[in-house]
Amino acid sequence: MFMLMIIRIFRARVRPGKQEEFERFMNEKVIPMVGKHKDIAEYAGRPYGSSSNEFTYVSVWKNLSDLRVFAGEGLGGIIDTTRRIALLEETFLHHFELFHKGRCNK
């Protein structure tokens, strides 16, 4: 048995023509901000092999308390509303309790 960990999956449909700006925003603002907290892993993904505008950002947190420090009590915080309206058509945010920890091959 291992300690309770939380997987946070953020998906965003980026407005047409805003993909580069969104990626820059993630690299310059969001990823460094998450890195200051006690998450254990993070992965950012852009669309692959299609013309999709959907990006994803996955972070794994040691516990719910650490995630709440980052995202707020309701777990919904990450991108301010003004920026969200300018860059994003739609967002999806999901949280999962880790029940199996696989190996990581480096």
User: CATH number of the domain that 32 lies in?
Assistant: 3.30.70.100
The reply to whether 106 falls in a domain is no
The reply to whether 1 falls in a domain is no
Look at residue 1 and tell me whether its pLDDT is greater than 50: no
As to burial, measured by CB atoms within 10 angstroms (0-12 exposed, 13-18 middle, 19+ buried), residue 102 is exposed
pTM of the entire structure?
A: 0.82
**Cβ-contact 12, 23 below 8 angstroms:** no
The string of pLDDT tens digits covering residues 6-58 is 999 999 999 999 999 999 988 988 888 887 876 778 999 998 877 789 999 99
What is the pLDDT, as a whole number, of residue 6?
Answer: 92
What is the number of domains present in the chain? 1
